[in-house]
Structure 1
Amino acid sequence: MADKGASPSNDPVDVLIIGAGASGAAIAWSLTETRMRILCLEQGDWMSSSHYPTTRNNWEAQQFGAHHVDPNVRALDVDYPVNGTDSPIDVLNFNAVGGSTIAYAAHFPRLHPSDFRVKTLDGVADDWPVTYDDLEPYFVQNDRIMGVSGLPGDPMYPPKQLPLPPIPIGLVGETVARGFDRLGWHWWPSDSAILSQPYEGRDKCLNLNPCMTGCSQGAKGSVDITYWPEALRAGVELRTRCRVREVTVNDDGMADGVVYYDADGRECFQKAEVVIMACNGVGTPRILLNSKSKQFPDGLANRSGLVGKNLMFHPVAVATGVFEERLDTHKGPQGCCILSKEFYETDLERGFVRGYNMQVTRGAAGPLATAMKGLAGGTIPWGPGHHEQFDRYFDHTVQCLAVCEDLPEECNQVTLDPELKDSSGIPAPKVTYRLSENSRKMLAHGLERGKEVMRAAGAVEIIETPLLRVGGWHLLGTARMGADPERSVVNGWGRSHDVKNLFIVDGSIFVTAGGVNPTSTIQALALYIGDKIKANLANLFDD
């Protein structure tokens, strides 16, 4: 671990990475073999497993405060606010070494081969400049480093092998799988970046369930315990509590460093030969748009006008089934159970293009969350009847999420808020987002199919959530890849069309969103870009 008390020298570095989350960690590790001087600046701090909520008696309450997934609610000194008043979906993230892998569910599917060719196959959006086959060796490499558990043979993917056997699906999975079987629909155990058995010095999952407040066991593959230890041993420097304001450019229009605020609020300048953005689909456009200069009056790398445009979430509808029998839904990884790709590919008879993934998740993480969600939703009263209704729901609920593909639209965007700022005075991001008619139809279809599978599985009651507001985990598309500089921000290996020594490796470079959680694909892309950078070191700055 880097020395947090060390005073940074700010001597020039060869490579400067902004962000120590999923993609920043992966590319830092990839570039270590070059022996270049690599520095990563992270706005958050190191997390300690001994300080995760599950080590304390009030662990559930912390999910509604300091460990809330919404930075506007969490409001820690390492966070920045997000203006989401013009969006029906809230932005969720986590600032720390490890980024949102600290707080994600570790559900770990890959994009499908078809997801890279939607223009060719379905006549919408654009094809990616890379294919599934291009990324396949990097998926394999990333699975090994993260420690992915899963069952080979899923007919919805090309053949693939995973390092570890699948996480047990438990009573929840067995019950809902019977519903899928009765309907004749595809289902498969989820691929999970969670250890089903001891692996490379880390112990297996203990089925504690609250994965999204940090894994005290270390079984969940967060990059602070997978990629970063190896990268640091290889000589990468990681500097925490460093809030980047802007990327600077020299007279030739090349990135030459960043201005940032250190832990004491001092303004610092870090010079660099190469700058890599790894701040997610909201954080990366925020910094680029704030990096204005004579050469780039509309923000760095933004001659196309597309930085911040084409924001994609994965809109989510939820069918929650209530069962008579107790299913122990507070045991096991919360977001990793079984999934169905029955409605993943386009079928125009459904009334929309593209499709969605049905992700079966376990119920509330514990008694407090069950009670609070029940009180908020009106299913559990406060006062007389509370305990009886609580017993009806706790350990008796299962969720089926329709995770819908979001198609890119320029009107969905991240801009700089003219008034809201973070604690350092840096403009906050403003999210403007609307659901397309295609997404609305897909959500409605997914909700009905979720209800159908819950009834087939034996649910006695179904609670409907037509759109999950706290569903903005996946922040994609705001600095998209492509061959045409007029229609994209970076090329097919993450290099800015406008600034030859500026690279982007996070989810903002997605061309389309697919219908699955994106972390596996984000990291595979970062490793792929790392190899492309290494292969082109001799002519990195040439046109």
Structure 2
Amino acid sequence: MNKSDPVDVLIIGAGASGAAVAWSLAETRMHILCLDQGGWMKPSEYPSTGRDWEAKFYGEWSTSPNVRARPEDYPINDDNSPIKVVNFNGVGGSTVMYTAHWPRLHPSDFKVKTLDGVAEDWPIDYDTLVPFFEENDRMMGVSGLSGDPLSPLTHPPMPPQPLGLSGPLIAKAMNKLGWHWWPSDTTVATMDYEGRARCINLGHCTPACAQGAKASTDITYWPQAIRAGVELKTHCRVREILTNEHGMASGVVYYDKDGIEQFQPAEVVIIACNGVGTPRLLLNSASGRFPNGLANSSGLVGKNLMFHPYAQIYGFVKEPTDSNRAPPTCLWSKEFYDTDLSRGFVRGYGIQFGRGAGPVFEAVASEQKGILPWGADHHRVFRRLNGHRLAVSAICEDLPEEHNRVTLDPVLKDSHGIPAPKIDYTISANSRKMMEHGLARGKEILEAAGATDICTNNPIPWGGWHLLGTARMGTDPARSVVNEWGRSHDVKNLFIVDGSVFVTSGGVNPTSTIQAIALYVADQMKQRLANLFD
């Protein structure tokens, strides 16, 4: 095993949270090193540069690591889950793949136990994160319209996305029903911004934006962090975190780009590997001192996995829609976000509206749903469906349940022999009631828009984009893995900054909040520099 010189701070993972914490800590002038098991992305190779972009979505650019199976990926056993994990390994992490939808958790999401008597309260509140939300919106480059009456107030530095063809159809339907809607915040640039070109509708934002209009951390945070002195090593897969005789993290064992085992000593270790990769690493770092996994005296590492079940309903209108034109989500609704017990469940969901789908996806999906026949009528029906889809998705809050968990698979391993994560997950009765409510409301919206041939995906099977809760923060070491500023209760120089620290999931996409938390943890670390190394 080769040994490198020790660094002050070692960050594992170069995605949404790893990039943000690296950039923030760079001003300390400490020696900061980040290891990522993927490489730098090449926008010239992104699917949206060619006409076969949809075909690539089913293979090498699938959102699922099990389908994609790039050397940088690790397999995931999610056979025991109705929702399949989707993630991405590389500089930028899943921000390369995400839809760029940019809501924040609501203030109420931090006080779920107090308000509704379920789950747990966060040890921090929304107001604590506001300056970090604002900083992150500037760094990532957010477009939107300030003043939404049902969402937290934001101040996007760019104007909102155009409503296009689909937006007014959705808005008129919502107005007919008297329900809330608003142009959604996105991290897709609507004007030239910080060296990034504006969106020109090259194609769907998922899986990746060749134009650079969609913010991913390889083109936002990382260039600035590296200029400030942060070191980033790619194609380095961390196997385990080691500890010394004092129970402190001493560094990591990793495999370099040539597959050679290396040891990297560090004074402080920060994990930014998402809600599946982080518990996997902690559990694989078991030792004599930490027999049940590192930082796991609570027994909660890997437990309380929250996905956000998505209930989707879609139909087809006579008017043309935006099809695959970017970004996929242009409007949101928070009409059913907060608890109303008369609905039969606690908590609530956000609604996301989809512009449509590309022609290959439309053909495949419509044939599977039985609304696109083969034979003489095929072309006529396809012309009526293609470019006429409207979709409504309810993103349902997942409450934390300990039986929803990530463990180490006893058989499946990655290409370096490291045990793969195994997912055990079931959708709760509360979430199922929420999903049914969302589908019923979605049907009302589509009917108000004049849609026919209505189909559902309940849940969206490849919908495990949001990986949350498996190393939650809290003040009680018996009920949480890290404290209120991301520091492990058990290992004082170990920090976690990704979505695994979430206490509850809310009913919105989490990336904005994940990055705000990473910046907040970095700020707390800077305020406490004197005792970081104790």
428 and 193 in structure 1: CA distance in 2 versus 1, 3 angstrom threshold: same
Displacement over 4 Å in runs of 4+: none
Cα displacement (A) at 1:462: 1.3
Q: Does 1:394 align with 2:386?
A: yes
Q: State the alpha-carbon separation in 1 of the partners of residues 531 and 184 from structure 2.
A: 42
Q: Does 1:537 align with 2:512?
A: no
- Within a 5 Å distance, the mapping from 1:247-326 to structure 2 comes to 247-326=241-320
Q: Which moves more between the two structures, 102-111 or 169-178? A: 169-178
Q: Does 1:347 align with 2:357?
A: no
The residue that corresponds to 2:352 in the other structure is 359
Pairing partner for 2:512 from 498, 506, 520: 520
Secondary structure (helix, strand or coil) at the match of 1:170 reads coil
Q: Which moves more between the two structures, 499-508 or 47-56? A: 47-56
Contact between 1:479 and 1:509, CA under 8 Å: does it hold in 2? yes
Pairing partner for 1:385 from 367, 377, 381: 377
The residue that corresponds to 2:399 in the other structure is 407
Pairing partner for 2:331 from 317, 338, 346: 338
Secondary structure (helix, strand or coil) at the match of 1:213 reads coil
The residue that corresponds to 2:409 in the other structure is 417
Secondary structure (helix, strand or coil) at the match of 1:230 reads helix
The residue that corresponds to 1:4 in the other structure is none
Amino acid of the residue matched to residue 474 of structure 1? Answer: H
Q: Does 1:374 align with 2:359?
A: no
Per-residue CA distance 1:241-266 (angstroms, 9 max, x = gap): 11111000011110010011111111
Q: Does 1:164 align with 2:158?
A: yes
The residue that corresponds to 2:428 in the other structure is 436
Cα displacement (A) at 1:392: 1.6
Q: State the alpha-carbon separation in 1 of the partners of residues 324 and 412 from structure 2.
A: 39
The residue that corresponds to 2:146 in the other structure is 152
Pairing partner for 1:179 from 167, 173, 176: 173
Per-residue CA distance 1:385-404 (angstroms, 9 max, x = gap): 22122112111001100000
Q: State the alpha-carbon separation in 1 of the partners of residues 202 and 382 from structure 2.
A: 21
Pairing partner for 2:449 from 446, 450, 457: 457
Q: State the alpha-carbon separation in 2 of the partners of residues 108 and 151 from structure 1.
A: 12
Number of aligned residues: 533
List gaps (5 residues or longer) in structure 2: none
Q: State the alpha-carbon separation in 2 of the partners of residues 36 and 376 from structure 1.
A: 55
Contact between 2:240 and 2:254, CA under 8 Å: does it hold in 1? yes
Q: State the alpha-carbon separation in 1 of the partners of residues 220 and 426 from structure 2.
A: 36
Contact between 2:315 and 2:452, CA under 8 Å: does it hold in 1? yes
Cα displacement (A) at 1:60: 1.4
Cα displacement (A) at 1:9: 7.6
Cα displacement (A) at 1:378: 2.3
Q: State the alpha-carbon separation in 2 of the partners of residues 80 and 158 from structure 1.
A: 36
Per-residue CA distance 1:51-72 (angstroms, 9 max, x = gap): 1112223221110011000000
Give the TM-score taking structure 2 as reference length.
0.98
Q: State the alpha-carbon separation in 2 of the partners of residues 306 and 446 from structure 1.
A: 31
Contact between 1:324 and 1:460, CA under 8 Å: does it hold in 2? no
Amino acid of the residue matched to residue 195 of structure 1? Answer: A
Q: State the alpha-carbon separation in 2 of the partners of residues 213 and 235 from structure 1.
A: 30
Contact between 1:208 and 1:333, CA under 8 Å: does it hold in 2? no
Contact between 2:142 and 2:186, CA under 8 Å: does it hold in 1? yes
Per-residue CA distance 1:370-394 (angstroms, 9 max, x = gap): 1122222222234432212211211
Q: State the alpha-carbon separation in 2 of the partners of residues 34 and 493 from structure 1.
A: 18
List gaps (5 residues or longer) in structure 1: 1-7
Give the TM-score taking structure 1 as reference length.
0.97
Secondary structure (helix, strand or coil) at the match of 1:486 reads coil
Per-residue CA distance 1:276-334 (angstroms, 9 max, x = gap): 00000000000000001111000000010000000000000011021012123222311
Q: State the alpha-carbon separation in 2 of the partners of residues 137 and 439 from structure 1.
A: 32
| Identical-pair percentage | 64
Q: State the alpha-carbon separation in 1 of the partners of residues 265 and 301 from structure 2.
A: 23
Q: State the alpha-carbon separation in 2 of the partners of residues 464 and 278 from structure 1.
A: 34
